[in-house]
A and B are shown apart, each in its own frame.
Chain A
């Protein structure tokens, strides 16, 4: 245990073994209230924003859509798929191929927005206040009592909700109780452990009631007794806001807010579950194997908004931050908005901006083409400057073992990486390569600056291709 771990233990914070402490840099955008991005002239909504099969486009070109109109029907032949909705009122354009923020490719539905004058009305001259509609106002806790689990799942499925933390697993499938593996606890993940990102943090501060209402609905759908909201210690405002909302429930302590140590990658479910419950998710298994369902806080808010207000998942909160952004902000933006529009709304790139990352600096993907659309799973854009990306100088592995000391899953990253480098996938498998969660702690600390996680990622991709 490091000194930081000991202090966290003394403070009673939940934590896991190993991990790293990169500078969090949350202060750049943490105090910026969520702003509503004015409707862009055009959005490009990808049909594949989730794990599983892509949605099927159902709107012919030139057809008119409103915000929330179904434009992508889930693939009924696949076990895992999700719907996609229009996030802008306008006319559908012919399908195009796009690169997603994570580097994959997908078909997408471009929607050309209506003329500006028809996008606003007298009551809301600045455009529609989507934040108030989706998450604002009061949430009546009794409301959720009137819904049956079946109705909740149906509403979630119809709204096209997928995990907003990034993995993008369709949420209605997670809310399905499984007879063989009953869930006892719902874990709401509000850790947001990646440096710079503040979208979830702002949502918890500004719409705690929506988050807690979504939690109750999800809990009801799954049929589990307890619920825990886990938040890292560096977000005291969010913790206070959520505690306030939970207190109003008066449910005899069945829902609790758990403070976690600020440590990367606390937000990974394989780290968060041991930290909060002391349970280990079996390698190759799922949280449900230990009776836990994990949802992101933003997903919970989207569930509340879908079930109680009938909104489809058309907008999300995204933080635009980093030293390479002139005015870091948190924006509520339509899904499918080009990253360039989001960046322009934040004053544009600084002169020495050098790398635009979809996501955070640890696990995010560098993008060079800023026409890439915002997807459901993109919680932030991080822009780094040249100064922060000092040219790395790779040297030989000196077997210092620092990668083993930080690997949150207890793997031997140097062994796996070197096995992959030499094409020995069998050997890499024996070192449990497939258990790796891609967090990148190993490459972050490596004094020889070897791209360890990059090699491991490559090895996992080769292994999956070989098994296919």
Chain B
């Protein structure tokens, strides 16, 4: 080593920059990557939707997507903010909304629902990360109130000519007819665009969990809530008078909800224990609505109620630091103010 090189600067050819540590970030940790993983997880769900409901499904998906993207873009412009389309979260909202609609819903209604989901469900709160309720469920609830008839008109899968048919849950609830489990698993039943195939939804959902785009505690909590009530129902009503836990899980929106809706990080609690409680709560509420209320399906309302309780759950499950609370703050619970 020649010390003269040091002085001439030959050893230090680059401009050094400064920043506060940590200087490294976890490989692949980005919001965009998380959202892309959700989109990848949705691929089998969308494939099932297109297979069973053909052009009707394609129309629902495309209209919801186009309106949602346009709405977010326009609102970003109106607020004078940079467009937030690149984080892809709006695509997830649109696709999940479309997946939760009946295939033959008039497309004008779909467009309205998509607009409400993004404008009221998400952007009105301040955009990504700020919304209290799951935007797709907000859009769906709006449609459920505005178009109660169209939102409960179902068509038989795999047919060109739409013939009205009851969903498995409606058939069980109102006609006492129980559809056999294998049909529910493959998804050859009437229902919302993307909720019918239990197997493909689970496949896509497992991808989210493996990629950690979704926390398994939320999924497991919701499924546990559903199963527990279903087993109780079976014991109380007798096996021949009840759907049973397997059919309760695979019929309707439980799996789509457990893997794709309750796992929305924005509207679920922060801590692990909070996520367990949230999942279980949504599962229990779903079953209470299914069995006792006027609707055959309860995932949407259960999720919205759960979302409303999330700040409270956050407050209850504020973690205790290793070594206990700071003495000054001991015994005082912080108010939930949200991250923003």
Mark A residues whose CB is within 8 Å of B. 17, 20, 22-23, 41, 195, 270, 274, 280-285, 340-341, 343-345, 347-349, 351-357, 359, 361-368, 370, 382, 384, 388-390, 392-393, 395-401, 404-405, 407-412, 414-415, 418-419, 424, 427, 429-432, 434-435, 440, 443-449, 451, 453-454, 457
The listed residue (B13, B16, B21, B319) touching A440 by CB distance below 8 A is B21
Given that A344-B3, A365-B21, A392-B25 are known contacts, is A284 also in contact with B14, CB under 8 Å in the complex?
Answer: no
B20 nearest CB across to chain A (Å): 5
Q: Are A361 and B329 in contact (CB under 8 A)?
A: no
Q: Does B23 contact A (CB under 8 A)?
A: yes
21 CB contacts below 8 A, A to B, read A17-B322, A282-B323, A348-B5, A351-B14, A354-B17, A355-B17, A359-B21, A362-B22, A364-B21, A364-B23, A384-B24, A392-B25, A399-B339, A401-B271, A404-B271, A410-B320, A411-B319, A429-B328, A430-B332, A430-B334, A435-B323
A301 vs B130: C-alpha distance in the bound complex, in angstroms? 53
Closest residue of chain A to B327, judged by CB? A284
A60 nearest CB across to chain B (Å): 29
Q: Are A398 and B266 in contact (CB under 8 A)?
A: yes
A384 vs B14: C-alpha distance in the bound complex, in angstroms? 12
**What residues of chain B lie closer than 8 Å to A453, measured between beta carbons?**
21-22
Instruction: Identify the stretch in B29-37, B51-59, B155-163, B286-294 within 8 Å (CB) of chain A at 4 or more residues.
Output: B29-37
A410 vs B340: C-alpha distance in the bound complex, in angstroms? 21
Known: A397-B340, A444-B25, A446-B29. 18 other contacts (CB 8 A): A22-B24, A23-B27, A274-B322, A280-B323, A281-B323, A283-B323, A340-B12, A344-B6, A349-B12, A354-B14, A357-B21, A364-B21, A409-B323, A410-B319, A431-B318, A446-B25, A449-B25, A453-B22
Q: Are B23 and A366 in contact (CB under 8 A)?
A: yes
**What residues of chain B lie closer than 8 Å to A430, measured between beta carbons?**
329, 332-334
Q: Are B319 and A348 in contact (CB under 8 A)?
A: no
Q: Are A396 and B127 in contact (CB under 8 A)?
A: yes
Closest residue of chain B to A445, judged by CB? B26
Q: Are B33 and A447 in contact (CB under 8 A)?
A: yes
Q: Are B340 and A418 in contact (CB under 8 A)?
A: yes
Closest residue of chain B to A390, judged by CB? B25
**What residues of chain A lie closer than 8 Å to B129, measured between beta carbons?**
395-399, 448
**What residues of chain B lie closer than 8 Å to A396, measured between beta carbons?**
31, 127-130, 340
**What residues of chain A lie closer than 8 Å to B332, measured between beta carbons?**
430
Number of interchain pairs (Cβ within 8 Å): 221
**What residues of chain B lie closer than 8 Å to A361, measured between beta carbons?**
21-24
Q: Are B13 and A398 in contact (CB under 8 A)?
A: no
Q: Are A399 and B265 in contact (CB under 8 A)?
A: yes
Chain B interface main SS type:
loop
The listed residue (A365, A384, A412, A449) touching B271 by CB distance below 8 A is A412
Q: Are A401 and B269 in contact (CB under 8 A)?
A: yes
Q: Are A395 and B87 in contact (CB under 8 A)?
A: yes
Q: Are B275 and A401 in contact (CB under 8 A)?
A: yes
**What residues of chain A lie closer than 8 Å to B337, measured between beta carbons?**
418-419, 424, 427
A149 nearest CB across to chain B (Å): 29
Q: Does B1 contact A (CB under 8 A)?
A: yes
Q: Does B77 contact A (CB under 8 A)?
A: no
Closest residue of chain B to A417, judged by CB? B339
A359 vs B324: C-alpha distance in the bound complex, in angstroms? 30
B315 nearest CB across to chain A (Å): 11
The listed residue (A356, A401, A424, A445) touching B270 by CB distance below 8 A is A401
A427 vs B328: C-alpha distance in the bound complex, in angstroms? 12
A444 vs B10: C-alpha distance in the bound complex, in angstroms? 33
Closest residue of chain B to A364, judged by CB? B21
Closest residue of chain B to A408, judged by CB? B322
Given that A361-B22, A366-B18, A405-B272 are known contacts, is A341 also in contact with B6, CB under 8 Å in the complex?
Answer: yes
Q: Are B321 and A283 in contact (CB under 8 A)?
A: yes
A257 nearest CB across to chain B (Å): 25
Given that A361-B22, A365-B21 are known contacts, is A354 also in contact with B265, CB under 8 Å in the complex?
Answer: no
Closest residue of chain A to B22, judged by CB? A440
Residues of B92-142 at the interface with A, using a CB-CB cut-off of 8 Å, are: 127-130
**What residues of chain B lie closer than 8 Å to A274, measured between beta carbons?**
322
Q: Are B18 and A398 in contact (CB under 8 A)?
A: no
Given that A355-B17, A395-B87, A399-B129 are known contacts, is A282 also in contact with B324, CB under 8 Å in the complex?
Answer: yes
Contact with A along B149-191 (1 / 0, CB 8 A): 0000000000000000000000000000000000000000000
**What residues of chain A lie closer than 8 Å to B3, measured between beta carbons?**
41, 344
A280 vs B325: C-alpha distance in the bound complex, in angstroms? 12
Given that A344-B11, A395-B87, A396-B127 are known contacts, is A285 also in contact with B21, CB under 8 Å in the complex?
Answer: no
- Top 9 A-B pairs ranked by shortest CB distance? A348-B11, A440-B22, A396-B129, A400-B265, A430-B334, A283-B323, A397-B339, A401-B270, A366-B18
Q: Are B270 and A20 in contact (CB under 8 A)?
A: no
Q: Are A349 and B14 in contact (CB under 8 A)?
A: yes
**What residues of chain B lie closer than 8 Å to A354, measured between beta carbons?**
14, 16-17
Q: Are B266 and A399 in contact (CB under 8 A)?
A: yes
A416 nearest CB across to chain B (Å): 10
A285 vs B323: C-alpha distance in the bound complex, in angstroms? 9
The listed residue (A283, A362, A395, A451) touching B24 by CB distance below 8 A is A362
Q: Are B270 and A368 in contact (CB under 8 A)?
A: no
**What residues of chain B lie closer than 8 Å to A284, measured between beta carbons?**
323, 326-327
**What residues of chain B lie closer than 8 Å to A444, measured between beta carbons?**
22, 24-26, 29
- Of A345, A389, A399, A407, chain B has the most CB atoms within 10 Å of the CB of A399
Closest residue of chain B to A446, judged by CB? B29
Closest residue of chain A to B2, judged by CB? A344
B28 nearest CB across to chain A (Å): 9
**What residues of chain B lie closer than 8 Å to A340, measured between beta carbons?**
6, 11-12
Q: Does B215 contact A (CB under 8 A)?
A: yes
Q: Does B236 contact A (CB under 8 A)?
A: no
A429 vs B130: C-alpha distance in the bound complex, in angstroms? 23
A414 vs B328: C-alpha distance in the bound complex, in angstroms? 21
A365 vs B17: C-alpha distance in the bound complex, in angstroms? 11
Closest residue of chain A to B269, judged by CB? A401
Q: Are A195 and B14 in contact (CB under 8 A)?
A: no
Given that A431-B334, A447-B33 are known contacts, is A20 also in contact with B326, CB under 8 Å in the complex?
Answer: no
Q: Are B329 and A432 in contact (CB under 8 A)?
A: yes
B293 nearest CB across to chain A (Å): 29
Q: Are A368 and B18 in contact (CB under 8 A)?
A: yes
Closest residue of chain A to B130, judged by CB? A396
Closest residue of chain B to A285, judged by CB? B323
Q: Does B78 contact A (CB under 8 A)?
A: no
A404 vs B265: C-alpha distance in the bound complex, in angstroms? 13
**What residues of chain A lie closer than 8 Å to B335, measured between beta carbons?**
427
B127 nearest CB across to chain A (Å): 7
The listed residue (A280, A364, A415) touching B334 by CB distance below 8 A is A415
Contact with A along B260-276 (1 / 0, CB 8 A): 00000110111110010
Q: Does B145 contact A (CB under 8 A)?
A: no
The listed residue (A351, A395, A447, A454) touching B20 by CB distance below 8 A is A454
